[in-house]
A and B are shown apart, each in its own frame.
Chain A
Amino acid sequence: MNDLTQSALTKPRVVGKRTPRIDGEYKLTGRAGYTGELHADGMLYGYPVPATIANGVLESLELDDALSMPGVVDILHHGNFDTLHRSPNSMAHGDMVNEVRLPFEDERIYYHGQYVALVVAETFEQSRAAAQRVVARYQMEDGAIASLLLTEAEGELQDGAGASRGDPEAAFGGAEVTVDSTYHIAAESHLQMEMHATLAEWRDDGQRLIVHESSQGVFFQRNAMARVFGIAQENLEVISHYIGSGFGNKLFMWPHAVATAVAARRLGRPVKVVLPRQQDMTGGGNRPASRQRIRLGADRSGKLTSVIHDSTTETSLVHQYVDTCGSATPSFYACDNVSTSQRVLQVNHGTPCPMRAPGEVSGIFALETAMDELAVELGMDPVELRLKNNAELDPASGLPWSSKHLDECLTSAAQRFGWDKRDPVVGSMRDGDEIIGYGMASCTWSAGRQPCEARVELRADGSLFAACGTQDIGTGTYTIVAQAVAELTGAELSRIEVKLGETGLPAGPLSGGSMATATVLPAVAAAVRDALDAIKEVAVGSGGAFEGSDADSLDVERGGLTDGKRHVSFAEILGASKLSSVNGKGSAAPGNERSEYSFRSFGAHFVEIRIDPGISRVRVARVVSSIDIGRAINPPTARNQVEGGIVMGVGMGLLEKLDYDPRDARLINANVADYIVPTHADAPDIDVELLDYPDFKHNEFGGRGVGEIGLTGVAPAIANAIYHATGKRYRDLPITIEALLAS
């Protein structure tokens, strides 16, 4: 039995309170060093040369011209590249990569943008100029598969990626009311603001490799590089202090990092590569397109009797990536007969990878649009339909939820939105020339947790230091670690220094899956407690500030210890004993609570859209959301995550689409102007409420994580609102102005 309830932080002083980011001033003054702007002595610049076809063979490379350009030092390609090894690509062993194929491994071209060479030169300008002079000749082949959305091919069924209970086919056949719809979502780009970047340097005569990478997982990259280069992981260091976000495509290593490290080894000098935006979009990851069929059966009262969710997503020809769309479906609604299946189709694209709420965000679009269709079929309010099918237990596992308040999310958001003013008649709500549509959807994301280690020092100069090898990708991890230390020591936040993003630190988790907060904070707390034990021992020892006292009689207060009569700061205790610091180590991992409860966050989005029928323009006017994430450790940064997810959801719903040329599978819109993401002007009025039900069954801090959930459910709420305004059911994303014009 876990003892989480014993250490549960029920009356926090710092945790759960508004705390400005401790790294804020670095970001706001330009002093935060992101990978792409780092320098090393004698550093060279690499510039990849991308394939201009998506299917065929690289016949030849003409390099003489490029090699004679000023400053060019070397050009790496298939003909001269080092012999390396593939990473085993194991999640369990922490060496998963985003593309198992090594750079320049063979001369086959599998996707547009695949690297055919890496030009290395003295300056950035020289590397770019020379890369443009490399002439590649290809044997282009027919038969490129441009997109899942442009083929009838079914793809390969993935064993183990589906789930089933009851007899969903029979229940669907016998249902009083049914929905049977197919949904398509275009491939999306992460379009994180900072492109992938690597700075690699070999030290100690090529024995040791130091890599700066814009990474959501420094330990994964270290382990993968150790396998690829066949060197001990102790001789490898991966560093990522500031990350210009990632949204999933920086979780695991890409081939550019390997090519950069090879160039650095071969030339004996540090090499930096910052992917140009075009190459970042062709070869640096994408959310794969999906095709999903949902069948719902219900009785006349609206009770679900069958849910069948069959999905197909894309992967590349060089790596197997499964974007499991149905992963939330078995847990979403109380229903006895549910099945999900997943197929994967190889296409001639750069390899897809996790993108914010991977799989589930696509699956929830289909499921929550289908639920709206069912509500229309039943003549029932969509909120009422969801409340009616609310699952009190996790129907997938049969376990109770650790903490679930979806019903309150639905009713609270509906009330703040003014849902009661909705006239369900299609197209009935107008404001001048505009038609108003109200739509809603539920949202969800699983609450995971990983093992983690951390280290904390209390120092004689009055500072406190916390270290963990996780990353802060903009979610605010630096700050919540400092909050946890401040909470448990009573020290001022300004005295706490936090170090993240290095493999030299205690092993920390990926910054992904909304798991970092629940994973890291318990380990930090364990390290703080270990350090506090150490300083108590110092204090009661010979010559100590509380010499002769019982350590258990001392309380921690305001960055020091007290015996009830006298308060002595950590710094004074250490000074009195002539010590520079005490050190605390801690580790934490999920326990058997996971066999007793199901852990998942839920919430609800309500959306108002306005359509100008004269010009077929739709805009999202406002979004009102209530989300239950357990406790928000730092409410402003947590709310910021949800608000950002909602903005990204507007993009998914209305704007974002990687366009592959149906003739040859080349990516047409690999730039920030033609791949459209929401701007300031596209951002709706957003009102986010975070319910405050700390989930102490998940961890002692009560937080379940917040990075993904805000994005889920937004696109279906938009689509459902557009249906309410127009009577037209859009089942394909994005819902573009062209699609609106066609109706």
Chain B
Amino acid sequence: MMDDSAHSRTAFSETLSVNLTLNGEPRTLQVAPNAVLLDVLREQLGLGGTKKGCDHGQCGACTVQIDGQAMNSCLRLAVMCEGQHVTTIEGLARDGELHPVQQSFLECDAYQCGYCTPGQMMSASAMLEDDRIGTDDASVKEAMSGNICRCGAYKNILEAIQQARVQLGHDATAARKEGVA
């Protein structure tokens, strides 16, 4: 067992500082230059909702939103996030209310083990705001194909996303009406 001074010297030598907005809160993090965003979230910040499935950008389990875009957090060094808005699954629900995507995943049983689920929902919630992606099932399936679900709950995930789209559309319409009134 090594002594504590040696521990802190080796563990925290050579860190860089990065300023970002994490789930709406401004944060300054001290990170190793080789620290990957995914590992910083999980190991340093205790945000375990973002999952590790491959570390190679192949499975989508680590998907977060960076400035509103779905991205693989395993393919980004933490220091690359200077000045950026990072949203993880922990930031998707607001004020204790599930996001419509979370609510529809619950209702449609759009998961089994739940491990790919945060990544599925971060991709889905970004995709639903992306006008470039068609609203038909085939377009959604194509757009979501970077998120692997080995349990194979794809049918229910598709149903949940399309249900959330309706929910979000209603909300947007209601908000517009309120604005006019």
A in complex with B: yes
Any B CB within 8 A of the CB of A696: no
Question: Which of A121-129, A170-178, A224-232, A570-578 participates in binding chain B?
Answer: A121-129
Partner of A474 from the list B34, B114, B145 (CB cut-off 8 Å) is B114
Complex alpha-carbon distance, A637 and B111, angstroms = 9
Any A CB within 8 A of the CB of B7: yes
Any A CB within 8 A of the CB of B147: yes
The B interface is mostly helix, strand or loop, or mixed, namely loop
Complex alpha-carbon distance, A366 and B14, angstroms = 58
Any B CB within 8 A of the CB of A659: no
A640 touches B109 (CB 8 A): yes
List residues of chain B with CB within 8 A of the CB of A268: 1
Residues from 37 to 68 in A contacting B, C-beta threshold 8 Å = 37-39, 45
B58 touches A27 (CB 8 A): no
Any B CB within 8 A of the CB of A70: yes
List residues of chain A with CB within 8 A of the CB of B115: 34, 192-194, 244-245, 474
List residues of chain A with CB within 8 A of the CB of B92: 29
A644 touches B153 (CB 8 A): yes
B1-39 interface bits toward A, Cβ cutoff 8 Å, 1 = contact, 0 = none: 110000100110110000000000000000010111001
Complex alpha-carbon distance, A34 and B141, angstroms = 27
Any A CB within 8 A of the CB of B47: yes
Any A CB within 8 A of the CB of B150: yes
A680 touches B35 (CB 8 A): no
List residues of chain A with CB within 8 A of the CB of B52: 36, 195, 274
A636-663 interface bits toward B, Cβ cutoff 8 Å, 1 = contact, 0 = none: 1100110111111000000000000000
Number of residues from B at the complex interface, CB < 8 A: 66
List residues of chain B with CB within 8 A of the CB of A613: none
A194 touches B11 (CB 8 A): no
Complex alpha-carbon distance, A727 and B88, angstroms = 50
List residues of chain A with CB within 8 A of the CB of B113: 192-194, 242-245, 473-474
B148 touches A677 (CB 8 A): yes
Question: Which of B128-136, B154-162, B163-171, B173-181 participates in binding chain A?
Answer: B154-162
Question: Which of A8-16, A18-26, A421-429, A542-550 participates in binding chain B?
Answer: A18-26
B92-116 interface bits toward A, Cβ cutoff 8 Å, 1 = contact, 0 = none: 1100001000100111010111111
Partner of B53 from the list A21, A27, A37, A195 (CB cut-off 8 Å) is A195
Which residue of chain B has the shortest Cβ distance to A280 in the bound complex? Answer: B54
Any B CB within 8 A of the CB of A567: no
Which residue of chain A has the shortest Cβ distance to B4 in the bound complex? Answer: A42
B106 touches A20 (CB 8 A): yes
Any B CB within 8 A of the CB of A683: yes
A29 touches B150 (CB 8 A): no
A30 touches B148 (CB 8 A): no
Residue from A28, A37, A637, A648 having most chain B Cβ neighbours under 10 A: A28
Contacts A475-B112, A640-B112, A680-B147 given: A27-B117 contact, CB under 8 Å? yes
B165 to chain A: closest CB distance in Å?
15
Any A CB within 8 A of the CB of B68: no
Which residue of chain A has the shortest Cβ distance to B53 in the bound complex? Answer: A193
Any B CB within 8 A of the CB of A462: no
Interface residues, chain A, with chain B CB atoms under 8 Å away: 20-21, 23-34, 36-39, 45, 70-73, 122-126, 129, 190-195, 242-245, 247, 267-269, 274, 276-277, 473-476, 636-637, 640-641, 643-648, 671-673, 677-683, 686
* 6 sample A-B contacts, Cβ–Cβ < 8 Å, listed by A number: A28-B111, A39-B46, A122-B11, A473-B113, A644-B151, A644-B153
